[in-house]
A = this chain, B = another copy of it.
Amino acid sequence: MDDLKCILPSSNSHNFSYICSVKKREQHYRNILNMIIINIGDELLIGQVINSNAAFIAEKVNAIGIWVEESLVIGDEEERMKKTILETLGKTDFVIVTGGLGPTKDDRTKKVLCEIFDMPLALHEPSLERLTAMFKKRGWELSESNRLQALLPEGAEIIPNDNGTAQGMWFERDGKVLVSMPGVPFEMKAMMCDIVPKIRDHFHSDFEIIHKVVQTSGIGESTLSDLLEDWENALPKFITLAYLPRPGIVRLRLTAVGEDKKLLESMLKDEIEKLKKIAGDYIWSFEDNQMEDEIGKKLRKIKKTLTLAESCTGGYIAHRITSVPGSSHYFKGSIVSYSNEIKRRILNVREVNLKKYGAVSEPVVSDMAINSMDLFDTDFSIAVSGIAGPDGGTEEKPVGTVWIAVATTTRIQTELFHFGTAGGRQTLIERAAVAAMNMLLKMMNS
């Protein structure tokens, strides 16, 4: 594709994707397609909604070798939309637009796109059928305003929306592609996943891009990068590394770009073997999944069950565990023992331990872990007790102090964490949950 521009941002900081390193890597790949994202919606301009759509789209296209050179948000005022979209089409060959496709007369994206691409609106029968069926299923009749959602630009390819009334649209002209999707995140996300293969095919990239994710926990980003420095510097020039931190987790993404898929895969495999030797103690997954997915996979494999006794995490670990489809195969249930009374009366935590050591202590989490395992009759248990704040801290046990125990029927392991207060209550809860799940994964592996 001759008209694909080569864009080479010159960053070489640590938080970056492979694309950013193209320059560093001697401009190895020149035919990288750039694109622009336009998110439409006043709600994004008044601070009411954080724009998560742009990041989602960027991640998806980035994974197929497309670089987002600009991402912009504008309101739903017609003239402005038209002007911005036209300007953008003048700057790039691929544009994704979200928002402004609702059933009310104030959602104007469709109208503007019809003008830009000079297409009339026409009834799109498959969409009308889908909408009618969708409403019928819920026992409703299709209202007039929703029927209008089946009026679509004649000449655009329609992208079905299984989660809402606004269909997606794929426009092409003069070698340029514009995709319009609804702004509702879950509708957009499902649709985006559907069209990734189409985007890849359309721009028929002539090189392979392979990502491998390795996930670590229990080590900070800067310490990890020190540990990996020599290995990183010795990576072949077509493999790049990105550090992607989350609370309690650092994901490492290795990306190989080249023409020979098999060779790339085998090189990546070799590098991951080296990585395992250097940082194996901190690695908990070789996939881009969540810790609860990894736990579920392991528990199903060994046919074992899990329960939880949560104090400061207050049900958050249970929520994470049960967010995995099929978790009922290994998760029977759990208890949130928020008060000492419940710890004592339902979980049989020994009064003497509560009195002598306090609720946030090794003896108490040990009791919680062992007794919850008995109560729920499971093979594994996790118990967490800590001070989530903002109040309740003492000099000896400041906010952020958390004891965690992980037990099997024959073993128990306990650990004390000091998560501090940065990020507040929610971040502490998340860090504690991640640390606890990581301890369980380690115990299952050992």
Q: Chain A interface (Cβ within 8 Å of chain B)?
A: 9-17, 19-20, 41-52, 54-60, 62, 67-78, 80, 84, 102-104, 106-108, 137-138, 143, 145, 162-164, 186, 222, 242, 244, 308, 310, 313-319, 321-323, 325-328, 331-339, 341-342, 346, 375-377, 388-391, 418, 420, 422-427, 429
Contact = CB atoms under 8 A, between A and B. Distances in A.
A310 B314 CA distance: 13
A164 B425 CA distance: 16
Nearest to A320: B315
B17 A48 contact: yes
Nearest to A335: B335
A253 to B, nearest CB: 8
Nearest to A14: B104
16 contacts: A11-B42, A11-B106, A44-B55, A45-B67, A45-B68, A45-B71, A47-B57, A47-B58, A47-B60, A47-B62, A51-B54, A69-B74, A313-B319, A322-B338, A323-B426, A327-B338
Contacts of A426: 323
Count identical subunits in the complex.
2
A336 B322 contact: yes
B74 A46 contact: no
Contact of A425 (B323, B418, B429): B323
Given A47-B55, A323-B429, A75 B11 contact: yes
B43 A244 contact: yes
A390 B310 CA distance: 27
A42 B323 contact: no
Say whether chain A's binding surface is mostly helix, strand, loop, or mixed.
Answer: mixed
Nearest to A57: B47
A427 B187 CA distance: 12
Contacts of A331: 314, 338
A434 B221 CA distance: 37
Given A45-B68, A52-B50, A58-B46, A319 B319 contact: yes
B11 A420 contact: no
Contacts of A49: 55
A23 to B, nearest CB: 9
A340 to B, nearest CB: 9
A90 to B, nearest CB: 13
Contacts of A78: 10
A131 to B, nearest CB: 13
B58 A10 contact: no
Contacts of A9: 42, 75-77, 80
A271 B45 CA distance: 26
A334 B310 CA distance: 10
Nearest to A425: B325
A73 B70 contact: yes
A422 to B, nearest CB: 5
